[in-house]
Chains A and B, each alone.
Chain A
Amino acid sequence: MFWRRNRDRDRDLDEEVQSWFDIRVSQHRSCGMSPEGARREARRGFYGPEQVKQQVREERRGAGLESILRDIRYASRALRKSPGFTAVAVLTLGLGMGANTAIFSLINAVMLRILPVSHPEQLVLLTDPGSSGVDVETTESDVRDLLAYAEFTELRDRTQVFSGLFAAESDPRPIDVYSADQHQLHRARLQLVSGEFFSVLGIGPAGGQFFTAAQDRVPGANPVAVISWNFWQRDFAGDPAAVGRTLRIGQGTFQIIGIAPENFRGIQVGADSDVWVPITMQAQAIPGRDYLTPHDTLWLQVMGRLKPGISIEAAQSSITVTMRQMLEAWRLPAKFLNQRLVLHPGAKGASDLRDRFADPLLILMGMVGLVLLIACANIANLMLARVNARHREIEVRMALGAARFRLIRQIMTESVLIACLGGMLGTAFAWLGTRALVAFASASITGLSLDMHSDLRVFLFTAAASLLTGILFGFTPALRETRGDRAQSLAGSQRGASTARLRGRRVLVVAQIALSVVLVTGAALLARSLRNVLSESTGFDHSHLLLIGVDPVSTGYKGAALRFFFQNVLDGLNRLPGAAGATLANTGLFGGGDSGDEVSLDGSPVHDKNDLHARWTLVGPHYFSTLGVPITRGRELDDSDAARATQFCVVNEAFARTYYPNLDPIGHHITDEYPTTRETYEIIGVAANAKEHSPREREVPRFYPTMFHPIGTVYATTFLLRTNGDPAAAASAARALLRSLAPTVNINDIRTADEQLSRRLVTQRLIANLSGLFGLLGLFMAAIGLYGVMSYAINRRTAEIGVRMALGASRPAVMGMILRETLWLVLGGILIGVPCALAAGRLLKGMLFGIQANDPVTLTVTAAVITIACCIAAGVPARRASQIDPMNALRCD
């Protein structure tokens, strides 16, 4: 339609021009001219029909595509003519856009991606293991993050508001899987899911079929497995015959019956599943512990699909009632009746990654946004200089009657073109950047796998950001330059106009410096915060410790055999060359998990049940001396306690202070009141407070019962080995020792405590490193902007400086003058930037440790760094100014 109209108009115009020519010829003919002469006469003052048509088209403003295409051709020709400007602008913008796209890609992958299932908006998370991390079996909060299998089946059978519910193992770990027929080892992430999993999600198999709810009723009866597309491609080379083959998982042999669709990577962001088996096959797939029967083994995340027409609020009130009825029916103590479920929209799946990275990613997004703004200001500056150079051309065109709109559009086309090129370069940078980021994070997060493929959303983000930045940095110069006081420009007030332009550029530089203040302050705060965390005393020396995580229980160790195994490994470790002590604990150091329960005490003045709460860590003999935590009273557990499996424990000072103020806790008893695992221990010692989980940990009351008479069953065990030399060097010897003592025992991982700490701090390190990088980038761009403006100003003032020098100003005086001007700009930027930085600092509050957002030292150092950077940037043009030869300069003018 559009094109037709244009074509018609062109034909019309052709005819009209022809008709003009014909009429003129016949007029001249009627005056008695020869046909030849008449035509020649008619053609006079006629530059040619094409030019006329061209001009008419020019006039049809807003005529659309055709003229836009011409603008683009014109703009690209103009850009090709100044490759230096184009390269700097595109590179600057490419860096800015690259940083933005990279961070946005991460946000997209972690926070925005919707599960590729049918009607994801109907999905609801009944439990959100993400918010607490997984496997924290504490009952400190009333809101349940995980459910027991019995609770799930009960809810599934009673619910009225969901068309279906399914449960899935909340923390699937990579395990060894063997293909039974080929004896080939695969490393795969296994997830136990209830039979409703695939039907509730509403996905269909890419091959074979999925198991159903009916195949998940009788424990041990359905040894079937569904594998992921990626696993199928990776380990079976996409062979269709994979369906029907068998896998040995744990102690069972499972037949592969189906392959999940390509885009379905599981319901957990950042942790793709490879193999799904029915939950009732737990005893075969992950043997050693019964997950299905106990009501207190919380390990499942549960999702449901709402019945049509039922809102999440309605479902919430219904499920609250159902949960309450269920708990009452089980005759649990009153305290446990308060436990409830909080429903969350489930369209994006579940993720603890989201909780850990949401805030850092949003803060980083803000920072890269600032970097992009600084880049924009830089390009706007360049554009101003460039438009300025074309000042005459624009004036002439406006005098010729060219519409202002057309000129603005032309300048804008140029800037949007630069923005698009920058966007493309940025996409390339982002591709590299996201891979580097994911690699950085995967080094610290076991089994991290993010779906990083760029989707439409990332593309739209980059496109929109490019367009917006193009308009942002093109608009001011365009408006300013075409601000049509034609009379004034004819009058030739060149100097006044360019002074105004210089003022505009100075404003931009001040804005850039202000933005850099915000960026660099943020980066400095985060860096110092990380350093504070790292240098925060944990209460013990963790630089010579090796952590060896094993799982003896799932391979069948229990009771006396387990104690014997512990003692054997400890003896072996102590005999290793370079060993300076060994012990064990249920949680290692700086791991994620922790335990805590309600307790009751004898001899304590604290009686309020609500206050009687303590964390606990199960430890082996010589735990405190191996770590280097001083015992302030009494003694620690020793080998004879281990051999006799005494029910002794040690408490930390926070515990002693809280529950036995001014009293001697030794000899008193602690009872852990968790109903199914009630145990009582006698206090034999008090240890100094230690931060074994995180340097940021608060000091909380904690007691340390013995591993040799634990609370409940201990599944994970970590041996701690203190070495005289580098602990990493002992890793292979420790592995060999375990292999020789217990060939079947699963070794989870062997790491130094320092390595584990740095993994623990991955988000802090990520945000500190990246914000440092972005701060530097922003500062660098601002410095370039300043350099450009000062160079320009000095070029304009060559004559003036020449006069000054001719009148006796010394070179240092000239340099001083330029630097003074720079300092005024910097001062302006800092004065504007500091309040902004203080405001922005409040957003960082949650990320900071041991430092206030308004830390005066940080602000002062930041201001100093920026001032120095700016003086260096201005120093080059200032030096050039001081070397102006007065004679030359005066002659020039």
Chain B
Amino acid sequence: MNSPSDLLPGTLDLLILRTLEHGPLHGVGIADRIEQTTKGVFVIGPGSLFPALHRLAARGWLDGQWGELETGRRARFYTLTRGGRARLTEEKRNWKRVFTAMNQVLAEET
């Protein structure tokens, strides 16, 4: 999955927020982590990731700080803010509702 338009709207935000719940990560780290945990179902390119990161940062849910990698390279690390955590809880709840609803529909069909 490369195009964000194939995702349900808002899904990418949830993925990013959830990924940062464990601690700060830079862009590549976030993309790799998502790819790993979804076993390659979601591959996020920079074209979708950066706009999403900046949007979330602009809403105050993420905080971006420059830091150094162990290799000495500079990268921007994103941290979940307090508001971001609240948002994540909310998004999780929403997702579960949708998920349950969808499952019910699918279960009925079989």
Among B15-23, B44-52, B92-100, the stretch that binds chain A is B44-52
Query: How far, in whole Å, are A23 and B71 apart by their CA atoms in the complex?
Result: 10
User: Cβ of B28 and Cβ of A23 under 8 Å apart?
Assistant: yes
A55 in contact with B5 (CB, 8 Å): no
In the bound complex, residues from chain B placing their C-beta under 8 Å from that of A22 are 73
A17 to B76, CA, bound (A): 10
**How many Å from the CB of B57 to the closest CB on chain A?**
10
B75 & A23 in contact (Cβ 8 Å cutoff): yes
Q: Are B50 and A17 in contact (CB under 8 A)?
A: yes
A58 to B26 CA separation, bound complex (whole angstroms): 21
In this complex, which of A47, A52, A486 has the most chain B Cβ atoms within 10 angstroms of its Cβ? A52
Compute how far the CA of A392 lies from the CA of B54 in the bound complex, rounded to whole angstroms. Answer: 28
Contact B74 A19 (CB under 8 A): yes
Q: Is A24 an interface residue, CB under 8 A from the partner?
A: yes
Alpha-carbon distance between A60 and B51 when the two chains are bound, in angstroms: 8
Q: Do B73 and A19 touch (CB < 8 A)? A: yes
In the complex, A884 Cα to B2 Cα: how many Å?
49
Query: Which residues of the other chain, A, contact B58 by a CB distance below 8 angstroms?
Result: 59-61
Q: Which of the listed residues A22, A401, A486 has the most CB atoms from chain B within 10 Å of its own CB? A: A401
- List B contacts of A389 (CB < 8 A): none
Residues of B within 8 A of A15 (CB): 74, 76
Which A residues lie within 8 Å of B75 (CB)?
16, 19, 23
| Residue of B whose beta carbon sits closest to that of A44 | B45
Chain A residues near B27 (CB-CB < 8 A): 16, 19-20
Question: Is B76 a contact of A27 with CB atoms below 8 Å?
Answer: no
When the two chains form their complex, are residues A60 and B54 in contact, meaning their CB atoms are under 8 A apart?
yes
Bound-state CA distance A61–B52 (Å) is 12
Closest-by-CB residue of B relative to A24 is B28
Partner of B54, one of A47, A56, A399: A56
Question: If the complex has contacts A47-B47, A59-B55, are A16 and B76 also in contact, measured as CB distance less than 8 A?
Answer: yes
User: Quick check: is B107 within 8 A (CB to CB) of the other chain?
Assistant: no
Given contacts A15-B74, A19-B75, A60-B58, contact A52 B46 (CB under 8 A): yes
Distance in angstroms between the alpha carbons of A24 and B58 in the assembled complex: 26
Given A20-B28, A26-B71, A59-B54, A46 contacting B46 (CB threshold 8 A): yes
A808 within 8 A of B: no
Whether the pair B55, A20 counts as a contact (CB closer than 8 A) is no
CB distance from B34 to the nearest CB of A (A): 14
Those of A387-417 within 8 Å (CB) of chain B: 399-401
Contacts of B54 in A (CB 8 A): 13, 56, 59-60
Report the bound CA distance from A695 to B21 in whole Å: 89
B residues less than 8 Å from A51 (CB atoms): 47
A43-73 CB mask vs B (1 if < 8 Å, else 0) is: 0011100011001101111000000000000
Q: Are A400 and B47 in contact (CB under 8 A)?
A: no
Instruction: For A20, list chain B residues within 8 Å (CB).
Output: 27-28, 46, 50
B28 touching A27 by the CB < 8 A rule?
Answer: yes
Give the docked Cα–Cα distance between A22 and B74 (Å).
10
> Bound state CA distance, A633 and B8, in angstroms?
101
Q: Mark A28-54, 1 if CB is under 8 A from B, else 0.
A: 000000000000000001110001100
With A23-B26, A59-B55 as contacts: A17 and B4 at CB distance below 8 Å: no
Residues on the A chain within 8 Å of B71, using CB:
26
Q: Closest CB-CB distance, B101 to chain A, in whole Å?
A: 13
What 1/0 flags go to B26-49 for Cβ under 8 Å of A? 111000000000000001011100
User: How far apart are B70's CB and chain A's nearest CB, in angstroms?
Assistant: 11
Q: Give Cα distance in the complex from A249 to B27, angstroms.
A: 90
Task: Say which residue of A45, A56, A486 sits within 8 Å of B50 (CB atoms).
Answer: A56
- Contact in complex: A13, B73 (CB < 8 Å): no
Would B28 and A52 count as touching, CB distance under 8 A?
no
Residues A401 and B5 in contact in the complex (CB < 8 Å), given A23-B75, A59-B55: yes
CB-CB nearest in chain B for A396: B5
A640 to B65, CA, bound (A): 113
Are the C-beta atoms of B45 and A45 separated by less than 8 Å?
Answer: yes
Which chain A residues in 485-538 approach chain B with CB under 8 Å? 486
Evaluate whether A58 and B51 lie within 8 angstroms (CB atoms) in the complex, with A20-B27, A20-B28 already known: yes
Contact A399 to B5, CB < 8 A, known contacts A20-B27, A58-B51:
yes
Q: How far is the CA of A253 from the CA of B14 in the complex (A)?
A: 94
Q: Which residues of chain A are within 8 angstroms of B9 by Cβ–Cβ distance? A: 399, 401, 486
A residues near B73, Cβ cutoff 8 Å: 19, 22-23, 26
Contact between A401 and B4 (Cβ–Cβ < 8 Å)?
yes
Instruction: Give chain B nearest CB distance to A273 CB in angstroms.
Output: 63
A16 to B78, CA, bound (A): 12
**CA separation between A486 and B71, bound complex, in Å?**
46
Q: Cα distance A422–B46 when bound, in Å?
A: 43
Question: Would you call B105 an interface residue if the criterion is a C-beta within 8 Å of the partner chain's C-beta atoms?
Answer: no
A19 to B49, CA, bound (A): 14
- Whole-angstrom distance between the Cβ of B63 and the nearest chain A Cβ: 13
Contacts of A55 in B (CB 8 A): 47, 50-51
Given A16-B76, A45-B2, A23–B46 Cβ distance below 8 Å?
no
B106 on the interface (CB 8 Å rule)? Answer: no
Q: List B contacts of A58 (CB < 8 A).
A: 51
Quick one: which of A12, A23, A46, A56 contacts B51, CB cutoff 8 A?
A56
Given contacts A16-B76, A23-B26, contact A400 B50 (CB under 8 A): no
Q: Which parts of A114-140 form the interface with B (CB within 8 Å)?
A: none
The smallest beta-carbon distance between B69 and chain A, in angstroms, is: 7
A644 CA / B54 CA spacing, docked (Å): 105
Distance in angstroms between the alpha carbons of A16 and B29 in the assembled complex: 13
Chain B residues with Cβ below 8 Å from A23 are: 26, 28, 69, 73, 75
Contacts of B50 in A (CB 8 A): 13, 16-17, 20, 52, 55-56
B73 to A, closest residue via Cβ? A22
Closest to B48 in A: A55
Q: In the complex, A818 Cα to B26 Cα: how many Å?
A: 65
A17 touches B46 (CB 8 A): yes
In angstroms, Cα B75 to Cα A26, docked, is 13
> Are A19 and B76 within 8 A (Cβ)?
yes
Q: Which chain A residue lies CB-closest to B13?
A: A401
The A-contacting residues of B in range 49-89, CB under 8 angstroms, are 50-52, 54-55, 58, 69, 71, 73-76
Q: Provide the bound-state CA to CA distance between A16 and B26, in Å.
A: 9
B27 to chain A, nearest CB (A): 5
Q: Using Cβ atoms and an 8 Å threshold, which residues of chain B touch A52? A: 46-47, 50-51
How many angstroms from the CA of A793 to the CA of B46 in the assembled complex?
Answer: 47
CA distance A24 to B43 in the complex (A): 14
User: Bound state CA distance, A24 and B74, in angstroms?
Assistant: 13
Q: Chain B residue with minimal CB distance to A12?
A: B76
Q: Report the minimum CB–CB distance from B19 to chain A (whole Å).
A: 16
Q: Which residues of A contact B47 (CB under 8 A)?
A: 45-47, 51-52, 55
Least CB separation from B10: chain A residue? A401
Contacts of A61 in B (CB 8 A): 58
Q: How far, in whole Å, are A621 and B98 apart by their CA atoms in the complex?
A: 104
Q: Which residues of A contact B26 (CB under 8 A)?
A: 19, 23
A581 CB, nearest partner CB in chain B, Å? 91
CB B4 to nearest CB in A, in angstroms, measures: 7
Q: Give chain A residues whose Cβ lies under 8 Å from the Cβ of B2.
A: 45
Identify the closest chain A residue to B76 (Cβ). Answer: A16
Name the B residues within 8 Å of A16 (CB-CB): 27, 50, 75-76
Chain A contacts for B55, CB-based, 8 A: 59-60
Question: Which of B51, B71, B73 has the largest count of A CB atoms less than 10 A from its CB?
Answer: B51
Q: Measured between alpha carbons, how far is A400 from B47 in the docked complex, in Å?
A: 13
Point out the residues of chain A lying under 8 angstroms from B52, CB to CB.
59
B13 CB to nearest chain A CB (Å): 10
Q: Could you list 19 further interchain pairs (A-B, Cβ under 8 angstroms) beyond the known A13-B54, A46-B45?
A: A15-B74, A16-B27, A17-B46, A19-B75, A20-B28, A20-B46, A20-B50, A22-B73, A23-B26, A23-B28, A27-B28, A46-B46, A51-B47, A52-B50, A59-B51, A59-B52, A59-B58, A401-B9, A486-B9
Could you jot down 11 A-B contacts, CB within 8 Å? A15-B76, A16-B27, A16-B50, A24-B28, A45-B2, A45-B47, A47-B47, A56-B50, A56-B51, A59-B52, A60-B55
The 8 closest A-B pairs by CB, nearest first: A59-B55, A45-B45, A55-B51, A59-B51, A23-B28, A19-B75, A56-B54, A16-B76
